Structure 1
């Protein structure tokens, strides 16, 4: 039995949630620093997943989900950005929004387009990611509204 098979359902969910958070961070870093998918993925998997910073242990992430999200986000970026633009107010195209939110919409869009995870789960998970980045702001509600629109466009049969 492999280590992954020994994990409880709650531990697996936690690893997937961590992978989504790391994917948003990685996409942000890739855009800000002009780094490649492969270099950023290796950095996160080696130095962030389960690492200890200032006495705090970082969560272990699901490497497979993490890589799938960031690779799909890059491969489908034009399609995801168009979906996001349609969900935003006309005067606020994706290029004008906060870069963390842009990375979040790209990660969530990648997971919506992959059709593996139910859309409502994707929305809930990425609203939680928004809360992690913006604990006191209105951004989580904004993220919920935009992702709902994107999910209905990408997977209308699920609604």
Structure 2
């Protein structure tokens, strides 16, 4: 099962962001059109929304199948409503926040916060290059800034 497939605007920038965030390289890639990060039996897929538009005459034959490309530009350029949030878990939340701050991969890195929805937990948020919100949760023993 996939976690998500994102149609993104800047393929190289997004790959760089997710490689650093996930501390792993791309697991598989199809031209400059598609990249996957596979971990723990799941994956995140990045689809370059501009590839199909920039390669209108490209066809790829795989056996008896001819791959047709879709122009995904409208999806990638639509307003990000921030209704979808990735949620990742880490052993040490404070260390992970410092690691991400040191990487300088996001203009938004919130303070660590506490919430009690279904159960109490701590988290902080970052944004990917397309403005998708990523929530990092995990073990935390520190104080929360008010």
Q: Point out the structure with the larger helix share.
A: 1
Q: TM-score, normalised by structure 1?
A: 0.25
When Rg is computed on C-alpha atoms for both structures, the one with the higher figure is: 2
Q: Point out the structure with the larger strand share.
A: 2
